[in-house]
Structure formats: structure tokens, C-alpha cells
Amino acid sequence: MGPSKANLRLVMFDIDGTLTESMKLDEECFIRAFKDVFGFADIDTDWMRYKHVTDSGLLQEIFHMRAGRAISPHETLKFQQRFFTLLGNASAASPFRAVKGAVELLRCLSTSQAHQVSLATGGWRVSARLKMESAGMRFDDFPAASADDAVAREDIMRASMQRASTAQGGHKFASTIYVGDGVWDARVCRGLGFPFIGIGTGVHAEKLRAEGAVRVFANLSDGNSLLTALDMIAVETQRL
């Protein structure tokens, strides 16, 4: 007999840089879309300078800075269409790769009676689906929230958790652990009280630890260590 739902744990994943190696190309297409649609050049790509590091948040803030007004729904749609076209063309020319171990880890967690997987991405749903499918994973296999649902990353995470709960019949999880690669991920998790597992190496790994990551892995290839870390963090969380 498997564990009861009373001990069910939610494992929430970021996508870009965590499940898919898509950060660089995604950024290039995003910046190119600003040029193609609005004629905006020299976009500051130090994303930590912006209030919300999500596609919707960045689009709204950058457009307001350059145009001096809020972006309209029509302009948002034009930008998205161009961005998705650029991203689709890029993936057709050279498919995105999964982060090492991502496919296997998702498969393992999906068959676990102790875990529920969900996705919380700062990207839009169309691009998230494209990147995951290009890398051999299915976005629609998991409860998910994206920049279509909210501007703020914390609201995206809350929506992902709610959808995961709904998928389990309204069950409240014993713990929620977030796996991501961004410093902004770590900061939002700290505010929400979610234990954060970071994905990164070198200086970036140190930055994630400094922001409160409870564990940092270079990638997702060491499935056994990751599962052990998830179990240990979940147990520790339940004690608090």
C-alpha cells in the first residue's frame, strides 16, 4: 500500500534553465521581438533590474519605459505572435535540449505515489509548451501556471499550487518544494515560505545558496540524490 494523501508532497518546477536548456535562445528571440514589433533596440537584459521577471511583466515594464504608456492588448498580442514565431523557427532549426536528467526525473516523480509534479514558469504557455515538447517533455502532462495567468512570479506559483491541489481533488499538500535556476526564483520562494532547490554551477550556484537555496545541483542527472533531498526537505518542513 502506498503512502496516504496526507503525506503527498508537491514538487514545483521552473522550465527555462531548469527543465530545458532554453534561456539563451529564449532571451534572443524575446529581444528580437521588441525590435521587430516596436523598433526598440538596446534592451537592458539584466533582468534583476526589473520588478517582475516574467514574460508578461518584462513586456509591460519595458514597453512603458520606452513608449511612456501602458501597452495595449493588441500590441501585446502582436509581440507574442512575433516572439512565438521566432521561437518556433529557432526550435525547428535546432531543437531545444532537456537539462540533463530532466526527462527521467519527471517520469520518476510522475509515477511516485508520494509526489505531485506541477510547473510554474515565468514564460507564456505557448512558448513553455513549445520548449518542453522540443526537448522531449509534455507541458500538458502536469498542472501548470504561466505568465498568461499573472504578472508576478509569486502569483504564478500560487496558481500552480492551486491547480495541483485541484488535480488531487482539492487535497492540501504536506509540503511544497520549488526547483528552479533563477535568483528571482529563490527570492520569491523565500517570501512564500517554499523550500528552494537550485540548479546551477560555479558562481551562479553560490548566488543561489546565498539567496537561501537548501540544496543546489548542477543539473537533474543525479536522480537518487535529488529524491533523497526532496524527502529530507519535506520531512524537515513538516516538523516546522
Mean pLDDT by 10 residues, the chain (240 residues): 67 97 94 98 94 97 98 98 97 95 95 94 97 96 97 97 95 93 94 95 96 95 90 74
Q: What pLDDT does 234 receive?
A: 77
Q: What pLDDT does 3 receive?
A: 46
Q: What pLDDT does 182 receive?
A: 93
What end-to-end distance do the CA atoms of the chain give, in Å? 27
Rounded to the nearest 5 percent, the helix, strand and coil shares of the chain are: 55, 15, 35
> How far apart are the C-alpha atoms of 183 and 179, rounded to whole Å?
12
Question: How many CB atoms are closer than 10 A to CB 215?
Answer: 19
Distance from CA of residue 181 to its chain's centroid? Answer: 8
> How far apart are the C-alpha atoms of 158 and 76, rounded to whole Å?
24
Q: What pLDDT does 2 receive?
A: 43
Q: What pLDDT does 7 receive?
A: 81
Q: What pLDDT does 232 receive?
A: 87
CA distances from 74 to 31, 37, 128, 150, 194 (A): 19, 12, 21, 18, 36
Q: What pLDDT does 96 receive?
A: 95
> How far apart are the C-alpha atoms of 121 and 56, rounded to whole Å?
11
* Amino acid letter for position 204: H
CA-derived radius of gyration, the chain: 18
Q: What pLDDT does 236 receive?
A: 78
What is the reported pTM?
A: 0.93
Question: How many CB atoms are closer than 10 A to CB 238?
Answer: 11
